[in-house]
Amino acid sequence: MIKKISNIVIKQLLTVSGAITGIAILFISIFLFKEGIGFFNSPAVEKGYSLYVHASNPINELSSKEIKEIFDSEITNWKTVGGNDEAIKIFRIDEIFQKYSEEELGKDYQLLPEKLGEEIKSDKNIIAYIPQKYAPTLTKGIKVLHIKHLTLSDFFLGKEWLPTATPSPLFGVMPLFLGTLLVSILAIIFALPLGLGVAIYLSELANEKIRKLLKPIIELLSGIPSVVYGFFGLVVLSPLVQKTFHLSVGETALTGSLILAIMALPTIISVAEDAMRNTPRAMREASLALGATQWQTIYKVVIPYAKSGISAAVVLGIGRAIGETMAVLMVTGNAAVMPTSIFNSVRTIPATIAAELGEAPAGGTHYQALFLLGCVLFLITMVFSIIAEIISKKKNY
Amino acid sequence: MIETKNINFYYGDFHAIKNISMKMEPNTVTAFIGPSGCGKSTFLRLFNRMNDLINNTRLEGECLIKSKNIYDKSIDVDELRKDVGMVFQKPNPFPKSIFENVAYGLKVNGVKDKKFIAQKVEESLMAAALWDEVKDKLHKSAFELSGGQQQRLCIARALAVAPSVLLMDEPASALDPISTSKIEELIHQLKSNYTIVIVTHNMQQAARVSDKTGFFMMGELVEYSDTKKMFLNPDKETTQNYITGRFG
Amino acid sequence: MNKKIKQNIAFFVFRLFSLLIVGVLISILGFIAINGIQVIDWEFLTTAPKEGMTEGGIFPAIVGTFYLVVGSLIFAVPLGVMSAIYTVEYAGNGRIVRFIRMMTNNLASIPSIVFGLFGMALFVNKLGFGDSIIAGSLTLGLLTLPIIIRTSEEALKAVPESYRTGSYALGAGKLQTIRKVILPSAMPNILTGIILSVGRVSGETAPILFTVAAYFLPSLPDSIFSQAMALPYHLYVLATSGTDVEASRPIAYGTALVLIMIVLFFNLLAAFLRQRLNKKLKQH
């Protein structure tokens, strides 16, 4: 009886663990998206701060980009954001300390909120950035500016990633996305011919002895931790890139993609080699028997036959490269700007998460933005892995 | 046309072909018969140096085609294989269109003239008695054809590069009886233009298609004579036993 | 003749590429070995960092990595092996298996930094473990799960069908058969998978960044809820954000070499074991 029950329990347990990877993926998606989606409900202004304007100002709400441009003095007239044709007067809390002595503000700045209220009320074109702790007691004559929630397009199409800017941080993912794409695609451009060449050598040319030697070496290459690659890139490759191309810094998109290329090689080689070795012997013999050279046989018969496997290798390689974190973090220089040249420094999505999550307060907008980046990364790599699976199963004819 | 002189062939230590000398005349069909593992396929694959692809093998003796030793250093293997076509046991079309399959040999041998290629493809398909069945779907995948059609496509593919010798390694063993008889018919027609060597495990087939027959056993050529004589009145008792089905 | 020349050029290029790859590997390993070997001695391996990590050793990082490896295996091995048992012995060959396999592949393709994010959200924040060995181990365990599942599946499939039928014929139940016959004979191969994941876990940085890794700790961790230093993160810190990056360079080389040696040792061990097992299997 007991034995029967324990058998049933064990069987149930096995069933559950059978589904463990599915459960893990489900959990990962839930947690990433839960934190990430919160981003779109967060105000675009740093927590604990508000923006005030004069009550007569027709403007009721602004987007984070508009706020940023106003405070950067790129927008100087209310007309630009749909208000009256008047110059914008920016007010920061420090200015109050120049106007009033500490005594006048009272003990523990008791009188500060009152004074701030008066200050805002006195100028109808003012925009003031004030901590909520000192929120003006005054209610007439001034109003809190409503700040638009961050939108999908702010996030996905924004061209600036300034997560710690005040008063309004910007979370435009475009530079990171393009940076990731640039580094990964460049890496594949380097790695693909090299990887295919080695795969052809291994599957078609090398004799058994050399193959047995070379295969483990390539596997070793994939075993080296990414932080070691990053370290090598930092101390060897980036000075080399700097010298070769006479750059001011060696940490560039190019350096990152070179390191990534080395890291992607083992995947590309082994998947492509497997695919080529799967080409039936009969196909090769048929081609050779018609007077084709070995090379003609390789590129006219073996490679087309292995096409889906090779494409899968490429897709897998790009997927890996997109998700790679540490090595890229260490050698690309991490400038979150729109990439313009391969000799500039760029910042990728995973590197951004790794570099910034430690400093982003849990639950804050920045934290949520990084989780949203995680979601993006998760989806991209998932799509790549599914595509790879589909292509590798597809028949060529 | 083909002449071998004291050929010995080894896979590593295994002595697969034992001192075989024989001659094959132009425009004849020669059949190799014998129990499986007797070396008949290996011997056939020596004529277009297909065995070069296998590691750890060794050859002694001479193999002459058109009076030239094909194992001489001056021989260009690719040119040799162009002149000595081969059809394999299982149909092995490339994963390409019917047209591309037949055009393949021309293209890898540097033919660029499209008109010429198209014409050759048609001629070859006609010679392989496949043209009428495929002329409307030349650009469909070769894998859409039936097994018998695929094998005839492989024959057409071999004919397209204009060989003078055609080697056939059990070309009908994977086919149904109707397809087999079509292939046999085809062999008859091709005889006037090509020297054909066919390996078969099917004695009736050898009797039906060949002019001369060689009987192989354990790497040796036991008997080699006119097919009629071989099947009616063989010299050796082993041949007699094999043909009458007492072993193998 | 033209096509011969093309072939020669192409083949020359492929040989060159293959040499290049070997060259790259040798230069990476060689560079780190030559620079690292000079600082590695007994003291380096057994003392804590000193003088703002510009002197002293890496003992706490080695210990931390050891804890993380053990912790992640405790979590991942039973789960992974059980999952493989379910897939191979119970799930049959239909849709469920395809789905499980797809999920395993997908899990394997998730970037390690995403595991880090997840570990932080669930283990560190939601479950309130804080930055701790347990949070880091669970995160790393999840990351190595696909490796363990895949190798275990292969190991179970390699058990000859006759063992199963033999056991059933003696009246053993399915579970008994699995426990007494199948698992023992698959164990050596499962072990290679475990060893492989030890190599992987010791080298991962991104998943531990926000779940366990400490920049510097004066003492060794005293419970599974304390933070720990870890070799890969320590290397990252030394290379990029130490108190004096230039002065800690030699230590960084030493750390990199130790890390590589650990990872490669386990990879080679797994490869060696697999080869031996394959030979054995062929002899039978």
**How many Å apart are CA C21 and CA C29, to the nearest integer?**
12
Same domain (yes/no): A127, A196: no
User: Burial level of C80, CB count in 10 A (0-12/13-18/19+)?
Assistant: buried
Q: What is the pLDDT of residue A11?
A: 84
**Nearest chain B Cα to C1, which residue?**
B76
Q: What is the pLDDT of residue C161?
A: 85
Q: What is the pLDDT of residue C240?
A: 87
Q: Find chain C residues with C-beta within 8 A of A377's C-beta.
A: 111, 113-114
Report the neighbours of A using a cutoff of 3 or more CB pairs below 8 angstroms: B, C
Digit-coded pLDDT (tens) for C107-125: 988 999 999 999 999 999 8
Phi-psi category of B66—alpha, beta or left, where left has phi over 0 and alpha has psi -120 to 50? left
Q: How many helices (H) and strands (E) does chain B have?
A: 10, 10
- The total of structural domains in chain A comes to 2
Task: Check residues C54 and A232 and name the one with the higher pLDDT.
Answer: A232
Q: pLDDT grade, residue C1 (50/70/90)?
A: low
Same domain (yes/no): A232, A118: no
Q: What is the pLDDT of residue C260?
A: 94
On whether any CB of chain A is under 8 Å from the CB of C241, the answer is no
**Nearest chain C Cα to B110, which residue?**
C3
- ipTM of this predicted complex? 0.91
Question: Which parts of chain A have pLDDT scores under 70?
Answer: 44, 46-47, 138-139, 395-397
Of C118, C173, C252, the CB nearest to A231: C252
Over range B153-162, report the average pLDDT.
92
Amino acid sitting at position B45: R
Give the contacts of A375 (CB within 8 A, at least 6 positions apart): A32, A33, A36
Same domain (yes/no): A279, A370: yes
Of A201, A223, A382, the CB nearest to C17: A201
Residue C184 has pLDDT above 80, yes or no: yes
CA geometry: angle A302, A306, A312, nearest 5 deg: 155
**How many Å apart are CA C24 and CA A298, to the nearest integer?**
26
Does C256 contact A228 at a Cβ distance shorter than 8 Å?
Answer: yes
**How many Å apart are CA A374 and CA C115, to the nearest integer?**
9
Q: pLDDT grade, residue B174 (50/70/90)?
A: confident
Q: What is the pLDDT of residue C164?
A: 86
B vs C: CB pairs below 8 A: 5
CA B105 to chain centre: 16
Helix (H, G, I), strand (E, B), or coil: what is residue B159?
helix
- The residue written with tokens 């008695």 in the block is B129
Task: Check residues A229 and C216 and name the one with the higher pLDDT.
Answer: A229
Residue B240 has pLDDT above 80, yes or no: yes
Domains of chain C: 42-283 (1.10.3720.10)
Residue C138 has pLDDT above 90, yes or no: yes
Does C2 contact B110 at a Cβ distance shorter than 8 Å?
Answer: yes
Residues A51 and A147 sit within 8 Å (Cβ to Cβ) = yes
Digit-coded pLDDT (tens) for B180-194: 888 899 899 899 999
Nearest to C141 by CA among C74, C85, C190: C74
Helix (H, G, I), strand (E, B), or coil: what is residue C78?
helix
Q: What is the DSSP string of A208-242?
A: HHHHHHHHHHHHHHHHS-HHHHHHHIIIIIHHHHH
Same domain (yes/no): A233, A138: no
Quick check: is A80 in a domain?
yes
**Nearest chain C Cα to A374, which residue?**
C114
Q: What is the pLDDT of residue A229?
A: 95
Residue C282 has pLDDT above 70, yes or no: no
CATH of the domain at A78: 3.40.190.10
The token duo for B71 is 């194992």
Quick check: is A25 in a domain?
no
Same domain (yes/no): A55, A186: no
**How many Å apart are CA A179 and CA A349, to the nearest integer?**
8
C-alpha distance across the termini of chain A, in Å: 57
**Nearest chain A Cα to B94, which residue?**
A283
Average pLDDT, chain B: 90
Q: Which of the listed ranges A336-345, C57-66, C161-170 does the model predict with the highest average pLDDT?
A: C57-66
**How many Å apart are CA A160 and CA A137, to the nearest integer?**
36
Task: Check residues B161 and A3 and name the one with the higher pLDDT.
Answer: B161
Over range C135-147, report the average pLDDT.
94
Q: pLDDT grade, residue C201 (50/70/90)?
A: very high
CATH of the domain at A387: 1.10.3720.10
Q: What is the pLDDT of residue A138?
A: 66
Q: What is the pLDDT of residue B247?
A: 60
**The CATH number fitting domain B2-93+167-243, selected from 3.20.20.70, 3.40.190.170, 3.30.750.24, 3.40.50.300:** 3.40.50.300
Residue B105 has pLDDT above 80, yes or no: yes
Sign of CA dihedral B97, B100, B102, B104: negative
**Nearest chain B Cα to A292, which residue?**
B108
Same domain (yes/no): A184, A87: no
**How many Å apart are CA C194 and CA C148, to the nearest integer?**
6
Quick check: is A12 in a domain?
no
Quick check: is A2 in a domain?
no
Q: Walk across the sheet containing B68-69 and list its strands.
A: B14-24, B2-11, B57-65, B68-69
CA dihedral A357→A363→A369→A372, nearest 10 degrees, is 100
Same domain (yes/no): A202, A350: yes
On whether any CB of chain C is under 8 Å from the CB of A290, the answer is no
**Nearest chain A Cα to B80, which residue?**
A291
Report the neighbours of C using a cutoff of 3 or more CB pairs below 8 angstroms: A, B
Question: Please, which residues bridge with residue B3 across strands?
Answer: B23, B64
A vs B: CB pairs below 8 A: 73
On whether any CB of chain C is under 8 Å from the CB of A2, the answer is no
Q: What is the pLDDT of residue A396?
A: 52
Q: pLDDT grade, residue B167 (50/70/90)?
A: very high
Same domain (yes/no): A239, A179: yes
**How many Å apart are CA C260 and CA A15, to the nearest integer?**
38
On whether any CB of chain A is under 8 Å from the CB of B164, the answer is no
Give the contacts of A42 (CB within 8 A, at least 6 positions apart): A149, A150, A364, A365, A368
Digit-coded pLDDT (tens) for C21-34: 999 999 999 999 99
Residues A169 and A240 sit within 8 Å (Cβ to Cβ) = no
Amino acid sitting at position B116: F
Q: What is the pLDDT of residue C283?
A: 58
Quick check: is A326 in a domain?
yes
Quick check: is A28 in a domain?
no
Q: Tell me the C-alpha to C-alpha distance, in Å, between residue B189 and each of B66, B213, C193.
A: 22, 19, 61
Rg (Cα) of chain B, in Å, rounded? 18
**How many Å apart are CA A111 and CA C259, to the nearest integer?**
60
Q: What is the pLDDT of residue A186?
A: 94
Nearest to B91 by CA among B166, B190, B179, B178: B179
Q: pLDDT grade, residue C258 (50/70/90)?
A: very high
Quick check: is A6 in a domain?
no
Q: pLDDT grade, residue C284 (50/70/90)?
A: low
Amino acid sitting at position A349: I
**How many Å apart are CA C33 and CA C27, to the nearest integer?**
10
Same domain (yes/no): A293, A388: yes
Å between B102 CA and nearest CA of chain C: 20
- The long-range contacts involving C246-251, CB below 8 angstroms and separated by at least 24 positions, are C247/C54, C248/C52, C248/C53, C248/C54, C249/A235, C250/C35, C250/C38, C250/C39, C251/C39, C251/C49, C251/C53, C251/C54, C251/C55, C251/C56, C251/C58
**How many Å apart are CA B188 and CA A169, to the nearest integer?**
85
Q: Find chain A residues with C-beta within 8 A of C239's C-beta.
A: 230-231, 234-235, 330
Of A10, A225, A377, the CB nearest to C114: A377
Q: What is the pLDDT of residue B97?
A: 93
Same domain (yes/no): A239, A373: yes
**How many Å apart are CA A52 and CA A324, to the nearest integer?**
43
Give the contacts of B193 (CB within 8 A, at least 6 positions apart): B27
Å between C121 CA and nearest CA of chain B: 50
- The residue written with tokens 């120049």 in the block is A98
DSSP A291: T
What backbone torsions phi and psi does residue C5 show, to the nearest 5 degrees?
-65, -45
Quick check: is A211 in a domain?
yes
Does C205 contact A330 at a Cβ distance shorter than 8 Å?
Answer: no
Digit-coded pLDDT (tens) for B54-98: 888 999 999 999 989 999 988 888 889 999 999 999 899 998 999
Residue C191 has pLDDT above 80, yes or no: yes
Amino acid sitting at position A346: V
Residue C194 has pLDDT above 80, yes or no: yes
**How many Å apart are CA C237 and CA C231, to the nearest integer?**
10
Residue B172 has pLDDT above 70, yes or no: yes
Domain span at residue A206?
A: 174-393
**How many Å apart are CA A175 and CA C232, to the nearest integer?**
28
Same domain (yes/no): A209, A85: no
Residue B107 has pLDDT above 70, yes or no: yes
